[in-house]
Structure 1
Amino acid sequence: MNRYFRLCIFFFFAVITALPSQTSASWQPEITIGLSQGLSGVHLSSTSGVLYVYEDLESKPILELPQGSELNVRILRDQIMANGQEIKGDQLIIQPGADGFIRVNHAPYRGYITLLKRKGLTVVNHVLVEDYLCGVVPKEMPPSWSAEALRAQSVAARTFALKNRKRHASEGFDLCSTSHCQVYEGMSAEMWTTTEAVNRTHGEVLFYKGEVIDALFHTDSGGMTESSENVWGSSVPYLCAVIESQMQTQPWERSVSLDALMQKMEKSGKPLGTLKEIRLSPLSIGKGSGDRSLSGRVRSVLFIGTTGSVVLSGNDLRSIFSLPSTLFDIRFRGGEVIFSGYGSGHGLGLSQWGAKELAEKGKNYKDILLHYYSGVTLEKLY
Structure 2
Amino acid sequence: MKRRLPLWGRCQAPEAEGVHAIVKGVSRMRRFLSALLAAALVLSAATPAMARHHAPAAPKADKASAAAAQPAEQAPLLRIGLTSGQPSVTVAAGGRAEARTESAKPVALTATASYEIRWQNGAFLVGREKLRGEILIIRPSDKSDGGLALDGRRYRGALELRHRGAGLTAVNIVPVDDYLLSVVPEEMPTDWPAEALKAQSVAARSFALKSRGRHAAEGYDLCTTTHCQLYKGIASEKTVSTAAVRATRGEVLTYGGQPIEALFHTDSGGMTESSEDVWGSHVPYLRAVRDTPLGTMPWTKTMSKADLEQKLAAKGHAIGRLRAIELSPLAVGRAAKDRTASGRVKAMIVTGTKGSVTLSGTAWRSLLGLKSTLFSAKLTKDSVTFTGFGAGHGLGISQWSAKRLAETGKSYADILHHYYTGVTLQTDSY
Q: Secondary structure at the match of 1:95?
A: strand
Is 1:6 aligned with 2:62?
yes
In structure 1, what is the Cα distance between the partners aligned to 2:72 and 2:403?
33
1:136 aligns with 2:170: no
Q: Deviations over 1:345-373 (max 9, x none)?
A: 11000111110010011100000000000
1:115 alignment partner AA: L
TM-score norm. by structure 1 comes to 0.92
Deviations 1:151-193 (A, max 9, x none): 0000000000000001111111111111110001111111011
Deviations 1:255-303 (A, max 9, x none): 2211111111111111111111001001100000000001010000111
TM-score, normalization by structure 2 = 0.82
| Residue 159 of structure 2, aligned match among 105, 109, 113 | 113
Q: CA deviation at 1:80?
A: 3.9
Instruction: Indicate if the aligned counterparts of 2:345 and 2:361 stay in contact, CA closer than 8 A.
Output: yes
CA distance in structure 2 between the aligned counterparts of 1:8 and 1:340, rounded to whole angstroms: 44
Question: What is the CA distance between 1:3 and its match in structure 2?
Answer: 7.9
User: For residues 21-60 of structure 1, what are the structure 2 equivalents within 5 Å?
Assistant: 27-48=74-95, 50-56=96-102, 60=105
> Counterpart of 1:214?
261
Matches within 5 A, 1:57-206: 60-61=105-106, 63-75=107-119, 80-100=124-144, 101-118=147-164, 119-206=166-253
The match for 2:365 is: 318
1:327 and 1:305, CA in 2 relative to 1: closer, same or farther beyond 3 A? same
SS in 2 for 1:259: helix
Q: Percent of counterpart pairs with the same letter?
A: 47
Q: Please give the alpha-carbon distance, in whole angstroms, between the structure 1 residues aligned to 2:208 and 2:372.
A: 24
Bigger mean CA offset, 39-48 vs 225-234: 39-48
Distance in 2 separating the partners of 1:240 and 1:109: 36
Determine the C-alpha separation between the residues in 2 that align with 1:356 and 1:25.
Answer: 30
Q: Partners in 1 of 2:184 and 2:401 — Cα distance?
A: 16
Contact map agreement 2:104 2:131 (CA 8 A) in 1: no
- Give the SS at the match of 2:366: helix
Deviation at 1:74, TM superposition (A): 2.5
2:12 corresponds to which residue? none
Deviations along 1:60-118, one digit per CA (max 9) or x if unpaired, are 41x21222321111345786432144443333111122132211122221111001112
**Structure 2 CA distance, aligned partners of 1:294 and 1:343?**
15
Root-mean-square deviation (CA, aligned residues, Å) is 2.2
Mapped contact 2:63–2:258 kept (Cα < 8 A): no
For residues 247 and 40 of structure 1, the distance between their equivalents in structure 2, rounded to whole angstroms, comes to 52
Q: Using the alignment, how far apart are the partners of 2:60 and 2:186 within structure 1? A: 33
* Equivalence for 1:19: none
Report the secondary structure of 1:198's partner residue: helix
Q: 1:123 to 1:157 in 2, by over 3 A?
A: same
Q: Distance in 2 between matches of 1:334 and 1:312?
A: 22
Change (3 A) 1:88 1:211: same
Q: Deviations over 1:210-269 (max 9, x none)?
A: 222111111111110000010111111110000001111111222221111111111111
- 1:99 & 1:243 partners in 2: Cα distance? 47
Distance 1:154 1:25 in 2: 17
Match for 2:349 among 289, 292, 302?
302
Q: Give the Cα separation in 2 of the matches to 1:217 and 1:182.
A: 10
Q: Once structures 1 and 2 are overlaid, which stretch shifts more, 119-128 or 80-89?
A: 80-89
- Tell me the SS of whatever aligns to 2:62: helix
The 2-side partners of 1:142 and 1:198 are apart by: 14
Q: Secondary structure at the match of 1:143?
A: coil
Q: What does residue 265 of structure 1 align with?
A: 312
Which residue among 283, 294, 299 is the counterpart of 1:252?
A: 299
Residue 292 of structure 2 aligns to which amino acid in structure 1?
A: S
Match in the other structure for 1:341: 388
Structure 1, unmatched stretches of 5+, are 16-23
CA contact (8 A) 2:104 2:133 kept: no
CA distance in 2 between partners of 1:250 and 1:117 (Å): 46
Pair 1:283-2:330 in alignment: yes
Kept in 1, the 8 Å contact 2:104–2:132? The answer is no
Distance in structure 2 (CA, Å) of the matches to 1:44 and 1:82? 9
2-structure distance, mates of 1:160, 1:8: 14
CA distance in 2, matches of 1:106, 1:321: 36
Runs (5+) with no aligned partner, structure 2 = 1-56
Q: Counterpart in 2 of 1:242?
A: 289
- Say if 1:8 and 1:309 are closer, same or farther in 2 by CA, change over 3 A: closer
Output the amino acid matched with 2:62: R
Tell me the number of residue pairs that the alignment of Structure 1 and Structure 2 aligns.
370
Greater fraction helix = 2
Q: Distance in 2 between matches of 1:262 and 1:8?
A: 51
Contact kept? 2:97, 2:142, Cα under 8 Å: no
